[in-house]
């Protein structure tokens, strides 16, 4: 399924996801839930700090620097060897810290997610668990609601979105149904 919709009109988007302004039928939603799975952030296997640290040495540039450090050590240039290894270790430490910060941010996003969402099903408003939102669902948002899935705005009236949990920007960002 095509995933780029910002450059399409709302009608083109509805057509692309095989939906309508009245929403999906219960049967369509059940079929899509089966086909695409739940609307949930993927749970990956947690890696130990040592695993993440060692993964930092798998980059091609890092391997080249390791080879340079070995050549430098063999040629007797102790200062260069120490500097290269210090840079490699510092890079690995920073990469490991960055990995765990990103993991913590993802956990924060999971904790903030809304447990329910308002959608149109069978032409009527229904409140469902947010994990059951599927591609093509029409999600209704009101002031204060959490956005529970990626989506395309079909209609809006002076819509501003608080994206501070993603961008750090405290000001509301204006959103529109227009083609971008």
Cα Rg of the chain (Å, integer): 24
Q: What pTM value is reported for the model?
A: 0.61
**pLDDT the model gives residue 112:** 66
Whether 161 and 175 have beta carbons less than 8 Å apart is answered as yes
Q: What is the DSSP letter of 7?
A: T
Return the closest-CA partner of residue 139 out of 131, 147, 159. 147
Q: Which residue range(s) make up the domain with 86?
A: 49-111
Does a structural domain hold residue 164? yes
Asked if residue 180 is part of any domain, the answer here is: no
In the predicted model, what is the mean pLDDT of residues 138-150?
87
Same domain, 35 and 119: yes
For residues 63 and 91, membership in a common domain is answered with: yes
146 pLDDT above the threshold of 90: no
pLDDT top residue among 93 and 111: 93
Region 45-52: what's the mean pLDDT?
89
Q: Helix 60-74 vs helix 78-112: angle between axes, to the nearest 10 degrees?
A: 160
147: three-class secondary structure by DSSP:
coil
Where among 94, 111, 128 does a domain terminate? 111
Domain count, the chain: 2
| Pair (54, 75) in one structural domain | yes
Question: Which H or E element spans position 107?
Answer: helix 78-112
Check which CATH number belongs to the domain holding 14 and give it: 2.70.150.10
Supply 8's token pair. Answer: 């399409």
* 107 and 92 part of one domain: yes
Taking only the tens place, the pLDDT of each residue in 98-139 is 999 988 887 777 666 668 899 999 999 999 998 899 999 999
Q: Are residues 122 and 170 in the same domain?
A: yes
The chain-wide mean pLDDT, for the chain, equals 89
d(CA 42, CA 15): 28
What is the predicted pLDDT for the residue at 171? 85
Q: Closest by alpha carbon to 85, among 69, 73, 61, 74?
A: 69
- Cα separation, 39 vs 27, in Å, equals 17
What pLDDT was estimated at residue 168?
Answer: 78
Is the pLDDT reported for residue 64 higher than 70? Answer: yes
Residue 1 lies in a domain: no
* Domain co-membership, 30 together with 63: no
């Amino acid at each position: 399924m095509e995933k780029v919709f910002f450059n399409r009109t709302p009608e083109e988007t509805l057509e692309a996801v095989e939906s309508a302004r009245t929403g999906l039928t219960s049967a369509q939603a059940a079929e899509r839930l089966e086909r695409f799975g739940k609307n949930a952030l993927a749970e990956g296997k947690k890696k130990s700090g040592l695993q993440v640290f060692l993964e930092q040495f798998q980059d091609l540039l890092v391997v080249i620097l390791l080879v340079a450090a070995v050549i430098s050590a063999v040629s007797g240039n102790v200062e260069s060897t120490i500097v290269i290894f210090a840079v490699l270790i510092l890079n690995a430490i920073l990469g490991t810290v960055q990995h765990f910060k990103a993991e913590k941010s993802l956990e924060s996003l999971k904790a903030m997610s809304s447990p329910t969402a308002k959608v149109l099903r069978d032409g009527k408003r229904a409140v469902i668990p947010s994990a059951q939102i599927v591609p093509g669902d029409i999600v209704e948002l009101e002031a204060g609601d959490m956005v529970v899935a990626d989506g395309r705005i079909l209609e809006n009236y002076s819509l501003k979105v608080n994206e501070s949990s993603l961008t750090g920007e405290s000001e509301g960002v204006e959103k529109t149904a227009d083609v971008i």
